[in-house]
Structure 1
Amino acid sequence: MPSVSAFKVSAPGSTMLMGEHAVLQGEVALVCAVDARIEVTLRPRPDRQVHIHSSLCQYQSELDQLTPQPALSFVLAAVSAYRTQLPSGFDLIIESGFSSTIGLGSSAAVTAAMVVALEHFAGVESTRLEQFRRGLAIIHAVQEGRGSGADLAASLSGGMVCFSLSPLKIETLPCPDGLTLSLFYCGYKMKTPEVLRYVEKRWQQQPQLLQQLYRMMGATSQAAINALKSADLVTLGRLMQVYQGLMDALGVNDATLAKMVADLRQDPAVLGTKISGSGLGDCVLTLGKTPPQDLQGFSQISIMPATQGALLVEKG
């Protein structure tokens, strides 16, 4: 029997404040861990079976010969990555404080939780940077090599994170007093790899212009990070408007999102508003000192920055 008893790991979701798309080209991004969290509870078994209980599905398999299950692709990719280091099979319960259909980085959050949980189970000690690299390899294995890891960095570290992939930088920033974030879900979502393929096809005849657009996105993100460090929420809000225009130019806005952005900008409580995520669906993010009024017909989610990243919250 393994020496580790049952335990629980919690990891926060995240939302991108600035840097979508351009972060994949080496530009800086600003991402925020949020107080909606995913928890995984791991209980060792006396055999080599893996039993997973989730709202998405129920799963059973042999640890040494995992059967595929698309609904659990990130979880199983993590198990596969650590399989040879694990002392036994296990029961796993996955509980989420938010829906996987809403853009709060659920895939990154569950990957972060799994990396911390499986390393604890295997008796592996590693730094956050090592955990990030292993988690990103897991995400890339599922997403055909795509994904910057910005959301993973936020889920592991917590707080406001200044992130770049090349060169790798994960810097936690102070969260200004009075910062209020809200998300409005448009009702549908396109998977990020599909959006990236759409952008590549749209710009295949103008690659140099596309690179210039990415550079402008990066410069806007850096200015936003400077505003955040100065606790200048008004300037941060204005830069969100600028970045929204760049996302529109990229081609990832649509009629529903455009109307949501326009309507939210009429609210005096809103300092800035933009698409959060890769676009062509998902959420619109607002920044203000108080929550904006409800946007009729769309679900609103008020979020707070999470100071704690992925952590072991309960030992058996």
Structure 2
Amino acid sequence: MVLLNNVTSTSPGKAILFGEHFVVYGYSSLIFAIDKRLGIKLEYENSDGNSTKIRVSSNLGFSAEISDSKITMTNNVQLFVDIVENLHKIINYLIGGTNGSIVNGNQNMNISIHSEIPIGGGLGSSSAFCVALTGAFYYSFYNNLNKKFICDKSIEVEKVINNNTSGVDCSICTYGGLGIYSRSHGFNRFRADMRDFPFLVIDTGIPHNTFEMVNKVKRIKENDGEFFSDLCKQYESIFSFSLKSLETKNLDSLGMLMDENHSILKKLSLSNPAIEKIIKVCRSGGTFGTKITGSGGGGCLLSLVDIKDQSLVNGLLKKLDELKLNYFFVNPDDDGVKIENKTTTSNSFKTI
């Protein structure tokens, strides 16, 4: 078959607007793609015939080589090791290789990872990684971009590294835009114009463990079912009003609902003093509302900024700088996964 070489596929990250943790218990969540992307550049070259190699480079602070399933790292930080090990698992799954034979025994791969998305910050870096990598392989084999196939395959791929994934993150990373997800109804696009919604993402710099946060909520539910049920009812009301706020572009109402959602997450012990210090700064002026986005305990916060008074916004950013926090503005991304460049060559490979 004609193979496209030097393919770069990029996928947006995501932010959860409403519904962290409650989605686990059957409630709906609102999620949107953000215009921070993770890119995968895929190149093929002939091997020396003795072994196949995958060379990995990145802008994250590491590079690696995989040769017949043996991984050699330039930086053995566990986070980076996990990324490369997951990359190897995904490639084996996509290509169908066994015992370290990734392709037909005579092809090396050069894979470059470039991420604008903080790793482990609750902004969908893992799902964007799966979608971008699947997109690069699919385009190199089939010379087109079938988003339904890429979405379905990306969800399969993510289950290789996280068996409990719901599939919602891969869906929003593939298609872009804004969507509603629930376990009973799956993922559905929600039409609302968010193009001029001024969102600010603040990286707390605090590492967190999603599994631990999920288990923390589970224990609260088991130990005090009535308390948890009451919080669920509060969240249900917040979600319902949020749809109206989005449809009418009522930023004051949307921000208030974000604050209310955060208060519920705080009651679930998903915040901490460091997070609350940032929340207090954001609520002191310059924002409509601020909340945890993702599993909590650390990671990132999402703030809806009030740009009507630029002096308040400047004051907010100065305070965040004084706390030595990383932050960036994001816009909703409507494109989803896309191909940035490609070059034609000819070779025979197994297909995904």
TM-score by length of 2: 0.79
Would the alpha carbon gap of residues 73 and 247 (structure 1) be closer, same or farther in structure 2, given more than 3 Å must change?
A: farther
Tell me by how many angstroms 1:232 deviates: 1.8
2:77 corresponds to? none
Given that 2:207 and 2:299 are in contact with CA atoms closer than 8 Å, whether structure 1 keeps it comes out as yes
Q: 1:245 aligns with which of 242, 256, 263?
A: 263
- Does 2:140 correspond to 1:128? no
1:251-290 to 2 correspondences below 5 Å: 251-267=269-285, 269-290=286-307
Q: Aligned residue for 1:80?
A: 92
The answer to which of 273-282 and 158-167 deviates more is 158-167
Which residue of structure 2 lines up, in the alignment, with residue 315 of structure 1?
Answer: 342
Change (3 A) 1:133 1:231: same
How far the C-alpha of 1:254 sits from its partner, in A, is 0.9
Q: Distance in 1 between matches of 2:257 and 2:213?
A: 23
User: Residues 132 and 3 of structure 1: is their aligned pair in 2 closer, same or farther, counting only changes over 3 Å?
Assistant: closer
Equivalent residue number for residue 15 of structure 2: 15
Task: Select between 284-293 and 273-282 the one with higher mean Cα deviation.
Answer: 284-293
Greater than 6 Å deviation, 4+ residue runs = none
**Greater Cα offset, 241-250 or 69-78:** 69-78
What's the CA shift for 1:176?
3.4
Distance change >3 Å, CA 221–CA 76, structure 1 → 2: farther
1:297-312 matches, cutoff 5 A: 297=323, 298-312=325-339
Contact 1:11 1:39 (8 Å CA) reproduced: yes
Residues 73 and 142 of structure 1 are in contact (CA less than 8 Å); yes or no, is this contact kept in structure 2? no
Letter matched to residue 263 of structure 1: V
Corresponding residue number in structure 1 for 2:76: none
State the Cα deviation string for residues 138-157 of structure 1 (Å, max 9, x = none). Answer: 323323x3333333222111
Give the aligned partner of residue 53 of structure 1: 57
Across the aligned residues of Structure 1 and Structure 2, the Cα RMSD in angstroms comes to: 2.7
Partner of 2:347: none
Contact in 1 for aligned 2:199/2:331 (Cα 8 Å): yes
2:223 aligns to what SS in structure 1? coil
| Higher radius of gyration, 1 or 2 | 2
Q: Aligned match of 1:97 in 100, 103, 116?
A: 116
What residue in structure 1 maps to residue 131 of structure 2? 112
* In the alignment, structure 1 residue 43 sits paired with structure 2 residue 43: yes
- Count of residues in Structure 1 that have an aligned counterpart in Structure 2: 313
CA contact under 8 A between 2:255 and 2:304: conserved in structure 1? yes
Give unpaired runs (5+ residues) of structure 2.
73-80, 98-102, 344-352
Change (3 A) 1:116 1:66: farther
2:201 is the counterpart of 1:197: no
What TM-score comes out, normalization by structure 1 length? 0.87
8 Å contact from structure 2 (residues 177, 189) kept in 1: no
Greater shift after overlay, 284-293 or 121-130? 121-130
Q: Which moved more, 1:5-14 or 1:88-97?
A: 88-97
CA distance in 2, matches of 1:305, 1:31: 10
Say if 1:74 and 1:142, in contact at 8 Å, map to a contact too: yes
Query: Which residue identity does 1:275 align to in structure 2?
Result: I
Q: Provide, for residues 249-278 of structure 1, a one-character-per-residue CA deviation record: whole Å limited to 9, x for no partner.
A: 2110111112221221120x3111111111
Contact residue 15 and residue 31 of structure 2 kept, 8 A: yes
> Identity over aligned residues, as a percent?
19
